[in-house]
Chain A
Amino acid sequence: MQRVRFTFMGNMIKQPVIFHLGRDFNIVTNIRRADVQENIGWVILELEGNEAEIERGLNWVRSLGVRVDPALGDLIEG
């Protein structure tokens, strides 16, 4: 299980990325919170499934230009 934040910029906001992530990668996606505005948006969601499959799915999301981050921000600090 992973908790991640997707950040969408520009036209990517209109793309059904999360739908495809669930359908094409056999991952259960569970949106918990989101804020989508005209030119930028983010979605915090939980992903359940096989670990390798989640990683493959996240790499596909990144390849679209969607930023993937830990849901609660970076844990490593200065």
Chain B
Amino acid sequence: MANITSLRCRECSREYPVQAINVCEYCFGPLEVVYDYEAIRKVASRQRIERGPFSMWRYADFLPADYNPRIDINAGFTPLVRCYNLAKQLGLKELWIKNDSVNPSYSFKDRVVAVASAKALELGFDTLACASTGNLACAVAAHAARAGIKSFVFIPSDLEAGKVLGAAIYGPTVVAIDGNYDDVNRLCSELAETYKWAFVNINVRPFYADGSKTLGYEVAEQLGWRAPVHAVVPAASGAMFTKIHRGLTEFADMGLIDGVPTQMHLAQARGCAPIATAFEEGRFVVKPVKPNSVAKSLAIGNPADGYYALKTIEASRGSGTVVDEDEVAAGMKLLAQTEGIFAETAGGVAISALVRLARSGRIKPDEPTVVYITGNGLKTPDPVAGVVKPLRIKPTVASFESAMAARVA
């Protein structure tokens, strides 16, 4: 049994039994999972974790759902890569990339959906659903396929069909809604109340969100049971950002690491930066925006966890960085060409934020730093399509050498 006791409102602290709800009936505040930390403390140890599976389920003691092989597509325990070339360019001594682009459906969403799916089965649901324009849809459809249950993916009808190919291949019912972004939001809210489905980021959101804690646990374990001094994280709703920090602090509270010196740095692109802008303007009220960014996976104009992300920045003495739209592709290319990692646009945002933080001296050379890469570049190749510039030659050595000479010149 998962080591959890209840759900609790993050605003008024009212408690609810464990069930598929995400909002406090009194103040409409978001609910979060309450853990039995005494029970966790009795069993958790480095050795127990190290004996676990090579997936995010090695941290099952800390998750709100029991391990269920029926939904397990082997999410998590992705590589933490030491980056010497990029570090040298930026004058840093210890730089790491948490490469979550190599998850089974190629983004960190596999972590949150793994927990949501396991909990959904525990709670008796036979259908998964989500509203998504990309990564989340892929993760939901993949987990539903593995579990042998139905899934529904709702998309705006103006989304190019190819954008959901990575989800459609798993066989969900894809529903294109003839309406704008607000219409899709409203309809999905109504559907979540009407149908007895597990809408992963609506009625099972408290469990779903905690899947991202594993991004904190893994980095701590992979660094040799320590937390980094800096974490640079791309943000959309802000949930993953807060949960990475929660994962690190839980490990410290359980005595698995010595402490959490980690300063949390949140990164967003100019075309949709409601959280980072609030930080820059020194306020905790997030002003919603209409997204217009090349970083589509970060395009949440009204972020559910924006306030909590700002509180995490404050608590960790971190920061928020807004990078320009043209820095997104530049960041993708920089990471690919220095470290051989092809990140999606969100990764370009994170790398460009790292560049700014390093060059400004905010990250000092000897401070261990981890950058989170949360999705695969093959999902969003358009912004870097210009890198394809082949040398055109005749099928002769002379032609090749002529082309090379011209290139050098």
Residues of A within 8 A of B (CB): 2-3, 5, 7, 9, 32-33, 35, 37, 40-42, 44, 46, 67, 69-78
In whole angstroms, what is the CA distance A75 to B303 when docked? 9
CB distance from A46 to the nearest CB of B (A): 7
CB distance from A31 to the nearest CB of B (A): 10
Instruction: Check B26 for interface membership: any CB of A closer than 8 A.
Output: yes
A78-B135 in contact (CB<8A): yes
CB distance from B151 to the nearest CB of A (A): 15
CB distance from B344 to the nearest CB of A (A): 9
Selecting from B53-61, B62-70, B185-193, the interface stretch reads B185-193
Count of chain B residues with a beta carbon within 8 Å of a chain A beta carbon: 46
* A/B pair count, beta carbons within 8 Å: 100
Known pairs A33-B11, A40-B287, A74-B300 / 5 extra A-B pairs, C-beta < 8 Å: A44-B27, A72-B304, A74-B181, A78-B299, A78-B346
Partner of A76, one of B133, B135, B287, B346: B133
Residues of B within 8 A of A (CB): 11, 22-23, 26-30, 130-136, 154, 156, 181-182, 184-186, 188-189, 192, 199, 201-202, 236-237, 283, 285, 287-288, 296-306, 346
Report the nearest B residue to A55, measured CB to CB.
B186
CB distance from A24 to the nearest CB of B (A): 22
In whole angstroms, what is the CA distance A42 to B29 when docked? 13
Partner of B302, one of A5, A37, A41, A78: A5
Partner of B285, one of A2, A3, A37: A37
Q: Which residues of A contact B201 (CB under 8 A)?
A: 75, 77
A70-B186 in contact (CB<8A): yes
In whole angstroms, what is the CA distance A31 to B191 when docked? 24
CB distance from A71 to the nearest CB of B (A): 5
In whole angstroms, what is the CA distance A78 to B140 when docked? 12
With most chain A CB atoms within 10 A of its CB, the pick from B189, B202, B346 is B189
| A interface SS class | strand
Report the nearest B residue to A42, measured CB to CB.
B285
A33-B27 in contact (CB<8A): yes
In whole angstroms, what is the CA distance A3 to B193 when docked? 12
**Given A33-B11, A40-B283, A41-B285 in contact, is the A75-B305 Cβ separation under 8 Å?**
no
In whole angstroms, what is the CA distance A42 to B23 when docked? 18
B185-A75 in contact (CB<8A): yes
CB distance from B296 to the nearest CB of A (A): 6
A69-B131 in contact (CB<8A): no
Q: Which residues of A contact B304 (CB under 8 A)?
A: 72-74
B132-A76 in contact (CB<8A): yes
In whole angstroms, what is the CA distance A44 to B26 when docked? 11
B28-A76 in contact (CB<8A): no
B302-A73 in contact (CB<8A): yes
A-B residue pairs in contact (CB < 8 Å), sample of 9: A32-B27, A44-B28, A69-B288, A69-B301, A72-B30, A75-B185, A76-B133, A77-B300, A78-B299
Report the nearest B residue to A70, measured CB to CB.
B185
B237-A71 in contact (CB<8A): no
B26-A32 in contact (CB<8A): yes
Partner of B303, one of A32, A35, A73: A73
B28-A78 in contact (CB<8A): no
With most chain B CB atoms within 10 A of its CB, the pick from A3, A33, A69, A72 is A72
Q: Which residues of B contact A71 (CB under 8 A)?
A: 23, 28
B28-A32 in contact (CB<8A): yes
A40-B285 in contact (CB<8A): yes
Partner of B136, one of A3, A70, A77: A77
In whole angstroms, what is the CA distance A13 to B323 when docked? 30
In whole angstroms, what is the CA distance A29 to B168 when docked? 41
A74-B285 in contact (CB<8A): no
